[in-house]
Chain A
């Protein structure tokens, strides 16, 4: 049986593993954590249908219950090398495995909001990231830095995305709709809290997203103000004062909120950067570079070496799953050409 190694047990890696195993390929699935899907497990609900993330977790985990999938969890692959006829994978503990092809699905990490010091993350208690907000929504316990119910919440888009200063010129693609989703979730839990989203553009690119935005305005009374928050400061009672320009009125605004939620963007994960550099397929911003985004978007240009999911660029969960599936087909085609 031909063998494929998949690095990363997120949505893309698991979907690819499932499709390949189903078509008679032996799969080695590596994951640096002890358990799969750690980013997905951080989510409460998924856009645009508000389905529970935990349902998707269990469905994806079920896909791994196939005989020819070997799970190597708690194993971090730090180097992959082409050995003439097969790939060698080396772990941090210098163990080695061999496979006919390799799929890199090492995913993303979120932008460290402390790098935008002017926004006060890690300095003021009332400033949180979108990840922390997601956790509060999941636990049904949305509170400010003092454990009180927030009366006013502001969401700020593009933190660490579309930002020359942090070196990330790109759009992280999912934050716009995530803020709309989170604001609606907060509204459901806190009917009287004032909610405002500060944006530069609202990129409602996916099916059902624009409708979510419309519902957020019409049904949930969420305000949208065009303008990027330039800075945050603490008030004497430890709330957060923010400044922005309402760019549609050409008027400076200031306001005080109990929570400022920073919608942090996606960056290449440490694993993505390491493997990209080790095989010479690292592209812009540390993401993995494929031959072409149109027709060969899983091919790295190296024989039998493929990439899928957010190790290539920011993607939504559904994009990642589709990409894992498409990578599985590309891998199967490649394995069929081998003797």
Chain B
């Protein structure tokens, strides 16, 4: 078959039908306060890592919620677990537990 140099591109939109909600549900089981997040962004605003890198914890845990964990393990290593996000969260989400558990789950997945 001749090579024309064209290819079919995968759409860039996230398809919620195929994303496994199971991962999010497992995380919410481990850290129930996560269910209360209402996306205010206080966690990212106060984050020390956010001040010096493009590490964005609000975006990262939302990506996890939508089932997109590509490159997430690498990103989460930037967190120093200082816990300022836990202090500022108005909905009482235990972000430190959330980050530790996301790391664990991603580690478990690799095995």
- A-side residues, CB < 8 A to B, are 194, 213-214, 217-218, 221, 224, 226, 243, 246, 248-249, 251-256
Partner of A214, one of B13, B36, B66: B36
Would you give the 0/1 interface string for B62-94, flagging 1 where the beta carbon is closer than 8 Å to chain A?
Answer: 110010000000000000000000000001000
Whether B59 is near chain A, meaning CB under 8 Å from some CB there, is yes
B38-A249 in contact (CB<8A): no
A214 to B32, CA, bound (A): 13
Partner of A248, one of B17, B21, B35, B39: B39
Closest to A254 in B: B13
A246-B14 in contact (CB<8A): yes
B13-A251 in contact (CB<8A): yes
Q: Can you report 5 residue pairs joining A to B where beta carbons are below 8 Å apart?
A: A194-B21, A214-B91, A243-B13, A252-B12, A253-B14
A248 to B58, CA, bound (A): 9
Please give the distance in Å from A179's CB to the nearest CB on chain B: 15
Please give the distance in Å from A150's CB to the nearest CB on chain B: 14
B17-A217 in contact (CB<8A): no
Closest to A222 in B: B35
B63-A221 in contact (CB<8A): no
B36-A217 in contact (CB<8A): yes
Residues of B within 8 A of A226 (CB): 39
Partner of B15, one of A217, A246, A255: A255
Residues of A within 8 A of B91 (CB): 214
Contacts known (A217-B38, A248-B39, A249-B59); A254 close to B16, Cβ less than 8 A: yes
Instruction: Tell me the number of A-to-B contacts counted with CB atoms below 8 Å.
Output: 48
A246-B36 in contact (CB<8A): no
| Closest A-B pairs by Cβ, 4 of them | A255-B16, A252-B13, A218-B35, A253-B14
A224 to B66, CA, bound (A): 11
Residues of A within 8 A of B12 (CB): 252
A217-B35 in contact (CB<8A): yes
Please give the distance in Å from A328's CB to the nearest CB on chain B: 40
Closest to B58 in A: A248
Residues of A within 8 A of B16 (CB): 253-255
Contact-residue bracket for chain B: 20 to 34
A218-B32 in contact (CB<8A): yes
Would you give the 0/1 interface string for B10-35, flagging 1 where the beta carbon is closer than 8 Å to chain A?
Answer: 01111111000100000010001001
Residues of B within 8 A of A248 (CB): 39, 58-59, 62
A248 to B43, CA, bound (A): 14
A299 to B39, CA, bound (A): 42
A254-B15 in contact (CB<8A): yes
Residues of B within 8 A of A218 (CB): 32, 35-36
A221 to B91, CA, bound (A): 16
A249-B62 in contact (CB<8A): yes
B35-A246 in contact (CB<8A): no
Closest to A218 in B: B35
B63-A249 in contact (CB<8A): yes
A246 to B12, CA, bound (A): 13
A53 to B63, CA, bound (A): 40
A252-B14 in contact (CB<8A): yes
B13-A253 in contact (CB<8A): yes
Residues of A within 8 A of B35 (CB): 217-218, 221
Please give the distance in Å from A260's CB to the nearest CB on chain B: 13
A125 to B21, CA, bound (A): 26
Please give the distance in Å from B33's CB to the nearest CB on chain A: 8
Q: Could you list 14 further interchain pairs (A-B, Cβ under 8 angstroms) beyond the known A218-B35, A243-B13?
A: A214-B36, A217-B35, A218-B36, A221-B35, A246-B14, A246-B62, A248-B62, A249-B63, A251-B66, A252-B14, A253-B14, A253-B66, A254-B16, A255-B16
B66-A249 in contact (CB<8A): yes
Residues of B within 8 A of A255 (CB): 15-17
B66-A246 in contact (CB<8A): yes
A226 to B59, CA, bound (A): 13
Contacts known (A218-B32, A246-B66); A251 close to B14, Cβ less than 8 A: yes
A243 to B12, CA, bound (A): 12
Please give the distance in Å from B45's CB to the nearest CB on chain A: 14
Please give the distance in Å from A109's CB to the nearest CB on chain B: 33
Would you give the 0/1 interface string for B38-51, flagging 1 where the beta carbon is closer than 8 Å to chain A?
Answer: 11000000000000
